Amino acid sequence: MDHHVLSNGTIWLSAPTMDDLDTITECCQEPSIGEWVTIPVPYTRENAVAFIAEMVVPGWADRSPTWALRRRPDGPVVGMIGLSQRDERGAEIGFWLSPAQRSRGLMTQAVNLVCEFGFHADGLAVERIGWRAFVGNYASAAVARRAGFRYEGMSRLGSTQRGRRRDHWSAARLRTDPPGPADGWPAEFDSVDRRAGYSRPPGDRA
């Protein structure tokens, strides 16, 4: 599929390129990203090269697009978000954001833009977008909840990160679900510190 730039006038989502290697590498030195995302640790420039060459480029060709989050059209990468197609009508979302850009609502805006693209007939035309995050990643859960994802449960040792199995939460948004904050999340998500950590992007993104 062709690259699609998404924007709401506040953020811009565009495919990361080899020109972004140094910025991606720098962002991925952040410990909280390594804690919650399935990236290599330590993360090197060679890892960023492999991410672009082996995941971003073939992903766009295979209906699993990845976008870099930017504050202006030609700005540096401050985050990453992507959809991994699971089947003809289903996909999974994943994302991370650099610490300096957190607590501004940027990732919630990005998730909404990506979901609109995923559901639209001119996008992926899926009916369901799933979300997963390792248990404890309340910041990612807060983003998913604000973007209309409905909590579906916890899977014991349901995901793998660098050879270690970990519990994960799951939620999903259907094409027919409203985009606003979702009800039905457990009470624990109402009272915890949500400032650190972002979700495991599908397919080891970044």
Tokens of 156: 């014991």
Please tell me the distance from the alpha carbon of residue 95 to that of residue 78, in angstroms, as a whole number: 11
Query: Over the stretch 79-101, which tens digit does the pLDDT of each residue have?
Result: 999 999 988 899 999 999 999 99
Please tell me the distance from the alpha carbon of residue 18 to that of residue 50, in angstroms, as a whole number: 10
The structure's pTM equals 0.91
pLDDT over 60 at 193, yes or no: no
Please tell me the distance from the alpha carbon of residue 156 to that of residue 135, in angstroms, as a whole number: 9
pLDDT over 60 at 200, yes or no: no
User: Percent of the chain beyond pLDDT 90?
Assistant: 86
What are the DSSP calls for 86-129, one per residue?
EETTEEEEEEEE-GGGTTSSHHHHHHHHHHHHHHSTTTT--SEE
- Domain 6-190 bears CATH identifier 3.40.630.30: yes
